[in-house]
Structure formats: C-alpha cells, structure tokens
Amino acid sequence: MGAYSGQFITPGRFAGKVAVVTGAAQGIGQKVAERIGAEGGSVVLVDRADIVQDVAKGIQEAAQESGCGGSASSVTADLESFAGAEQAVNAALALHGRVDVLVNNVGGTIWARPFEEYDEEKIEREIRRSLFPTLWSCRAVLPAMLAQESGTIVNVSSVATRGMHRVPYAAAKGGVNALTQSLAMEVAGRGIRVVATAPGGTEAPPRKVKRGPEAESATEKAWHQAIVNQTVESSFLKRYGTLDEQAAPIVFLASDEASYVTGSILPVAGGDLG
C-alpha cells in the first residue's frame, strides 16, 4: 500500500507543491494521493475513516524508498461539517504553511432506488454526503489560497447528473458542477483555478468502509443492476473505467500543465457526457 503502481507517472511534476486530497482512504482519492506523492508532492490525506493513516504511511514509506521527494500525512475529519473542513485545512497549513492544490473527492451514492422510494432522511443524507464536503472544503481553503494569490481546486463530480435510481445524488453532483463554474469565475482574477472531472462507472476493489447498506432484497438488487446497465450502455466504450483512468485527468488538472484550464467539467466516462 502507498506505492503508486499505475502506468502513468510524471516525475517531479508536484515537487514543492502541497496537495490536500479528501476521501483519500480508498478508491479514486487514494489513487490520486499516491500518484501526487510519487510525483514529488507533499500530500495531506483527509478522510473520516481511520484507515487513511495507513494509506498515508504507505505513501510516505514509498516516497522515502524511491527518493521521489514526496511526503504524506493524514487528517481524520468529517467533511460533512464546516468545522471538519476547517480542521483539515488548518492541519495542512500548520504542517506546510500553504495549500497549493485541493482535490475534493468525498461523495458517492448511498442508496440505489427510484426517487419515490427515497424518504426525507435518505434524501438529506445523500445531499450531505455528496455536496457539502466539497462546498465546505472549498470555503475552508479559500482564505489561504487568496492570501497566497495562487491555488488549484479540483472537484470530483459525476456524469450521474443524468442517470437513474439516484436522483438525490445527481442533484448533489449538479450542485458540485454549479459550484465549480461559479467559483471559478469569481476567483480567476485572483490566481486560483477551479475545475472538475465527472467520472463515470469505475471499477474498484471492494470498499473497506461502506457508504451504506448492501442491497438485500431482489428488488433492491434489481434497482442497483439497472444503474450498472445504464452506465455501461451510456458509455461509448461500453465498459467501466479503472482507478488509473480516473486519477490521471484529476492529477493533470491539478498540475501546472493545466494552467489555462478553469471553470471546466471534464467527463471521464468513456464518451458518456452525463
């Protein structure tokens, strides 16, 4: 754990950069953090699951072994509250004195079901999970980036803004898209870029910490399978993507190579535009 094993590496691309990656304990967030560390960045991994500490330790050990110049530390925080987002940003500032990159990766469908099958509590939980961590983290990091007159925010949205059996999640990610474009316009003249990727279906190892309960009944399994079928059918490539295929554009947009890109939402879904 910790050594980036993907096929895409640009040595030194993040040398001297401090990157905060949220939702970094597993999945896309972990892969992004590992890659930025392998490319020489100082990465602060944030998650509410304690296993994020192990991921950071692995990245740190891999960086020392390879001599790539990267480093890693972790913060355990619940980003569904502004206090948690401030805690994460303040920890990065206390350790490094600046934040050059923020990758907002927290979110994900908790339940899969037709909209009429969501009750009030489930709808509110979906919105809190997939909109507020990005909203709060953007707000928390903004004062530091404005003070240093530089910074890049990469939000991980979703092409599921047009999809089935997850309307509240789609609404939350639509909010992330609006946040990205509105904030990008607001801060472009102050040295800050704000961009997003919109992943499609992505193959990943079984989650170590579940977002919600597993589908149990035949009906619940059918609702979930309908999402899988629609996701593959909507993709021109007729398949799910890989974690490497999702991490690559995120890391590119976070880097100085994308210095003329802001306000954009890049679909990464095999041709599905969401």
Pair 49, 25: CB distance under 8 Å: yes
Sort residue 151 into left (φ over 0), alpha (ψ -120 to 50) or beta: left
DSSP H helical ranges for the chain: 27-38, 52-66, 82-96, 120-130, 132-148, 167-187, 218-234, 243-254
Distance CA 174, CA 158 (A): 8
Among 118, 169, 240, 260, which one carries the catalytic annotation? 169
**Known catalytic membership, residue 169:** yes
Distance in angstroms (rounded) separating the CA atoms of residues 26 and 156: 14
HSE on the CB side for 79, CA within 13 Å? Answer: 34
H-run or E-run covering 45:
strand 42-47
C-alpha 11: how far from chain center: 22
Dihedral sign, Cα of residue 26, residue 255, residue 250, residue 143: positive
| Distance of alpha carbon 145 from the chain centroid | 19
- Extended beta strands in 130-257, E state: 151-156, 192-199
Give the angle subtended at the CA of 145 by the CAs of 99 and 157, to the nearest 5°.
80
Q: Which residues are catalytic?
A: 169
